[in-house]
A = this chain, B = another copy of it.
Amino acid sequence: MNVVEKIIAGDVRTAARLIREIEDEHPETRKTLQKLHTHTGNAYVIGITGAPGVGKSTLVDQMIYHLRKQNKSVGVIAVDPTSPFSGGALLGDRVRMQRHSLDKDVFIRSLAARCHAGGLSASTQSVIDVLDAMGKDIIIVETVGVGQGEIDVVKSAHTTIVVVIPGMGDEIQAFKAGILEVGQIFLINKSDRAGAVQTLENLKAMIALNQHKLSAEGWVPPVLMAEAVHNKGVAELLQTAEDHRRHVDALSLECKYRHNREKAAAQFSAMIKDRLVEDVLKQLSATRRYQQAVDAIAQGAKDPYSACDDLLSAILRISLEKEE
């Protein structure tokens, strides 16, 4: 069996190796991913995002438990922000999901977050494709909500759950960063803590205020309460995700196409960004013109701003000419 066949057959070791290669940005993985792509589109992708400490991993662990009871196979992609200092700090979180580690229908992988345009989003999408081709029914993408890169990640999910805890003042911050537009469900975890009701009211008010932006598809994001650590509210959360899925399924064809096109556009833009930075810059920097620009800057003969303008306008001109 070749790699594609092995992955479709659910071979965990082959999948793990391919995921490592995606992380390492092996250019050869693209050929495999191209072939895998025709075998994708069956999994339902749930995004989970929220600040460190809101209990995402515990929540995901409980979600796995419920989904397994429904006999659904589950893939989990935990996106870690890579830090040269505290890179290992999040390993503890993974440990919390260990009770599922012997279940062959649960596949959990951490993905290091590289801080470059579209890179994270593009590689997460590729890993989603791998898990999808493996036949996972539900794929959960867990990401700590730090920065635009990570917000982009959850844009490719079918349903995104934004997790907050009472009294974090998250509501306002979330609103500012466009989290509101990204979440289809808001969950107040650790809802036994003081301030839960206040947080609930705030979130609901904010959603109501922004309804004109959100209701293009007629879905008003509900705000739920949970205590994931006591397994409270988790079944309701999954039911609400299922409601959202049905809601989208029931949209008119035109509306559904617009929905799909938006997802495709986000995914394509992330991929182009990633490749622009990786491939185009690499090839560009090998050109004589580029090296001459660096010389001129180092010698003080040219300022970097003008050098950058000159180089890019040349590229843009020829790209746009070609179009006409």
Contact = CB atoms under 8 A, between A and B. Distances in A.
A315 B314 CA distance: 12
B269 A281 contact: yes
A168 interface: yes
Contact of A37 (B82, B83, B113, B305): B305
A267 to B, nearest CB: 6
Contact of A280 (B276, B287, B309): B276
Contact of A85 (B85, B146, B283): B146
A101 interface: no
Given A84-B176, A287-B320, A268 B281 contact: no
A226 interface: no
A178 to B, nearest CB: 7
A221 interface: no
A269 B298 CA distance: 13
A205 interface: no
Interface string A241-275: 00000000000000001001101110111011101
Contacts of A70: none
Contact of A169 (B88, B114, B315): B88
B276 A294 contact: no
Interface string A71-90: 00000000001111111100
Interface stretch (A11-19, A60-68, A148-156, A196-204): A148-156
Nearest to A170: B85
Contacts of A120: 115
A306 interface: yes
A85 to B, nearest CB: 3
Contacts of A283: 316, 319-320
B147 A308 contact: no
Contacts of A148: 82, 114-116
A47 interface: no
A22 to B, nearest CB: 11
23 contacts: A30-B305, A37-B303, A81-B147, A83-B173, A84-B145, A84-B178, A85-B145, A85-B170, A86-B173, A114-B147, A115-B150, A116-B116, A116-B117, A116-B118, A117-B277, A257-B298, A260-B298, A268-B293, A269-B285, A272-B281, A283-B316, A283-B320, A318-B319
